[in-house]
A and B are shown apart, each in its own frame.
Chain A
């Protein structure tokens, strides 16, 4: 096991913690955070796999920088949607019952 593999495992862990929260939490704000943490998990796996025995591959680094900027713009849009939902229904929570 190398440190890069350790971080790749951490990345997988982050992805699945996020996915679990996305399925379980009902409030929209933790769901948005869950998507962000899932994204971070994917980025960690990408960058960890970029660390090779004979140097660091810069291509995944560039992809992750692009990804971070896209993630923040998507988060901003999602937060707006959340505020809109809260404004329209009076609460930013999704319920299971489906009668809303």
Chain B
């Protein structure tokens, strides 16, 4: 029983530290693509944290929205940001 508690404490501490480290790396890396990838990883770890906090509903919403859809939104925005201008404006 004591062993189980120790393992679960170690897991919680490791997860908390990983979340903080990923957040830091995500926000302070110079490479924008790396930022986005780390943010998606952060979202997935958040989903695990929600499960640890006995919030399965929130975990599902986070996994689908926080990690999945936000990642897709960020990736497409990044691709549009870094793509050289095309002559789209004249078409309007």
A47→B50 contact, CB < 8 A:
yes
Most chain A Cβ neighbours within 10 Å, of B36, B50, B78: B50
Which of A9, A13, A30, A44 sits near B27, CB closer than 8 Å? A30
Contacts of A47 in B (CB 8 A): 50, 53, 55, 58
How far, in whole Å, are A80 and B70 apart by their CA atoms in the complex?
Answer: 13
Contacts of A7 in B (CB 8 A): 12, 16, 49, 52-53
B73→A29 contact, CB < 8 A:
no
Contact with B along A78-100 (1 / 0, CB 8 A): 01101100100000100000000
A36→B12 contact, CB < 8 A:
no
How far, in whole Å, are A92 and B35 apart by their CA atoms in the complex?
Answer: 15
Chain B, Cβ-Cβ closest to A24: B28
Tell me the interface secondary structure of chain B in the complex.
helix
Tell me the interface secondary structure of chain A in the complex.
helix
With A3-B9, A72-B70, A75-B73 already in contact, the answer to whether A51 and B20 are too (CB < 8 A) is no
A68→B20 contact, CB < 8 A:
no
Q: Which residues of A contact B (CB under 8 A)?
A: 3-4, 6-7, 9-10, 13-14, 17-18, 21, 25, 27, 29-30, 33-34, 36-37, 40, 43-44, 47-48, 50-51, 56, 61-62, 64-65, 68-69, 71-72, 75-76, 79-80, 82-83, 86, 92
Q: Which residues of B contact A (CB under 8 A)?
A: 8-9, 12-13, 16, 19-20, 23-24, 26-28, 32, 35-36, 39, 42, 46, 49-50, 52-55, 57-58, 61-62, 65-66, 69-70, 73-74, 77-78, 80-81
